[in-house]
Structure 1
């Protein structure tokens, strides 16, 4: 390719495209011309790259094509309106739509934890199968309560927050597989049940619930929400309904990301409660009351604001412009 001749032949098109890009307003004819020139110049760039890749010409045309693309498609900027849409519509709407899944997960796991706790409480041999007999007294009298105050409150809050946020993210990320979510739920429920049973067997059930409930109500609810949404993804893969399996899964995954982002904030609240309220010198009723208030606030957010968002027909999915094309389905 004779690069000088090629540049001379098409320079007027590049100059015209540059003029259109710099205009603040375009008429209908100008917009059509801009799109036509954008396609032509993109082709010129491709030909020069393959035939005579001069760095200066390639750089100049690359910038021009990028500017033309931005002019044609527009630029979206972040705004407080988008943040408000997320918290007022997308997040509560998705939490409300998936309520059957995470409420069922919550009920099953709480009942299972109580059953495990009663079993451990009534069978001393089971207790020593989890914790050696010579360590039981130290665990009951010191380690369990000391766990909440062994680190500086701010460091402990950060540790708890990141750990629980990671668990929630894993539940949703591996949700389509199903079994990893069930395994995480089982291990979490087993740990709570065994610890509760051991504390109860040694006459410290009040201490156990006094330390678990302030932060545990909101924290465990958030984990159950993540697990329920993850299991819903698994069911979507198994039974996509009238949609193509790939389209159904893509839609649910996009909406589930909304839950992950929301739970990060929910778990931040529970982490702060666990670090600053649970080990504090407040009376037990006050500590549990703070945890109950946070839990009630979350449920009100879901069942009042979320219900309103769903009834108004609002979607928790991304905007149409951000979605991939989906194949039509039969009604």
Structure 2
């Protein structure tokens, strides 16, 4: 987008935000909820415009103007006690959903890489169990026989709180590593996605070979659905950053890194609640003394819940875009 086009496209919103800043500073009465909501939306748009302008038009006067405008708006919005909550709500209910919609391609690619590794691991191990030892050395001797799986994973034998905290920490570390690996032009991110898929696929092949796939997946999908979504998002963020470094286009690699790293970090931050939910499910529901059918129902509920969240966020974006 050219500078003149950028200014012409956004000038109306900047002017409206400036007028609202003056209005809020003058009035003593508490503004209406609608006015606060509109102001918050304009502030978010101006912040995004500033980030874009700093990246592509760093020496232009409009960048200095936007920097001042955003600073003034920031001072106004943080005068209200509810501003922090509104920022939090706006990010997770609109901005994060918007990023997922805009960056769906690298997220889908991350999922395909994972499933590619999973399919390879399943096909190899389901044909011959000894291949598990080749793919994952030392795993075969440490994996419980299928008939012992349910008997050794009951809630009364596991500290659910400790397991939940451990799982959340581990999965967040995996996500951060997949994201940060984008700096290697995405190569390490690709390896991590394929390898983790290979592990899951190989274990699935082991239990399929033993005729216990139903049991295996009942202990995977309750937390696995939401957990894998989070990993795909984090992996997609890493792939996005890596691709822009590898193919910078008309801009410098440093410029692409600055712009897309910010978007990738926002995608990563948005996955944290997903990992928390997955950790809680894996720590308290997955090992609980519940029927296998109930565990599958939990998986379906988590998937439907995420779908509802996406639809609601998309609806809010459409609603505010029409303001």
Return the offset for 1:306: 4.0
Structure 1: how far apart are the matches of 2:154 and 2:223? 11
For the residue of structure 1 that corresponds to 2:211, the secondary structure is coil
The equivalent residue for 1:114 is: 119
Return the offset for 1:312: 6.6
The equivalent residue for 1:231 is: 239
Going from structure 1 to structure 2, the CA distance change for 1:192 and 1:310 (only over 3 Å counts) comes to farther
The question of whether the paired residues in 2 share the 8 Å contact of 1:217 and 1:291 is answered with: yes
Going from structure 1 to structure 2, the CA distance change for 1:282 and 1:313 (only over 3 Å counts) comes to same
CA deviation profile, 1:176-198 (whole Å, cap 9, x unmatched): 21122122213211211111111
TM-score of the two chains, using structure 1 as the length reference: 0.65
The equivalent residue for 1:5 is: none
TM-score of the two chains, using structure 2 as the length reference: 0.66
Is 1:249 the counterpart of 2:257? The answer is yes
Structure 1 or 2, whichever has the larger Rg, is 1
- How many residues align structurally? 246
Cα RMSD after superposing both structures:
3.2
Gaps in structure 2 of 5+ consecutive residues:
1-24, 27-70
**Greater Cα offset, 143-152 or 193-202:** 143-152
Map 1:303-318 → 2, pairs under 5 A: 305-306=313-314, 309=317
The equivalent residue for 1:92 is: 97
The equivalent residue for 1:135 is: 141
The equivalent residue for 1:298 is: 306
Going from structure 1 to structure 2, the CA distance change for 1:194 and 1:311 (only over 3 Å counts) comes to farther
CA deviation profile, 1:130-180 (whole Å, cap 9, x unmatched): 466983774444368746755311111111111111111121122121122
Going from structure 1 to structure 2, the CA distance change for 1:137 and 1:170 (only over 3 Å counts) comes to closer
The equivalent residue for 2:218 is: 210
Structure 1: how far apart are the matches of 2:142 and 2:89? 50
Aligned residue among 156, 165, 178 for 1:158: 165
The question of whether the paired residues in 1 share the 8 Å contact of 2:224 and 2:278 is answered with: yes
Gaps in structure 1 of 5+ consecutive residues:
1-24, 27-69, 315-331
Structure 2: how far apart are the matches of 1:292 and 1:85? 27
For the residue of structure 2 that corresponds to 1:286, the secondary structure is helix
The equivalent residue for 1:124 is: 129
Going from structure 1 to structure 2, the CA distance change for 1:309 and 1:192 (only over 3 Å counts) comes to same
Structure 1: how far apart are the matches of 2:310 and 2:89? 15
Return the offset for 1:273: 0.9
For the residue of structure 1 that corresponds to 2:271, the secondary structure is helix
Going from structure 1 to structure 2, the CA distance change for 1:233 and 1:94 (only over 3 Å counts) comes to same
